[in-house]
Amino acid sequence: MDALGLLYLVFCLAICAFGIWVYSKKKDIVPLYIGFAYALFSIDRFIALLGLASGMDILGIVLRVVAYLLVLFALYKALVKNR
């Protein structure tokens, strides 16, 4: 098992959990979007750690693109909210 990939998965899950926790405390949707994006990154990393990534290249790309778009959307929401 890849140690760096495992570390990446742990940090992705930590950010996901922290985003959900902050949302539950502050009721601000931005951390929830970021947490959900990192949940998608976690799914992609988990698939890679299991060794199933070779046959699921398209799924990995889709998961990453959607996750990055969620982060961009969350940052946009944070920008618009402060105006």
Domain boundaries, position 32: 3-81
Average pLDDT, integer, range 13-17:
94
* pLDDT tens column, 22-71: 999 999 899 999 999 999 999 988 888 888 767 778 888 899 999 999 99
Q: Which residue has the tokens 């990192």?
A: 38
Q: If 0-12 CB within 10 Å is exposed, 13-18 middle and 19+ buried, where does residue 71 land?
A: middle
How many Cβ atoms from other residues are within 10 Å of residue 2's Cβ? 12
Q: In the structure encoding, which two tokens stand for residue 39, read together?
A: 């949940």
Domain count, the chain: 1
How many C-beta atoms surround the C-beta of residue 29 within 10 A? 13
Helices 29-49/57-81 angle, 10° precision: 160
Q: Residue 1: its pLDDT value, please?
A: 66
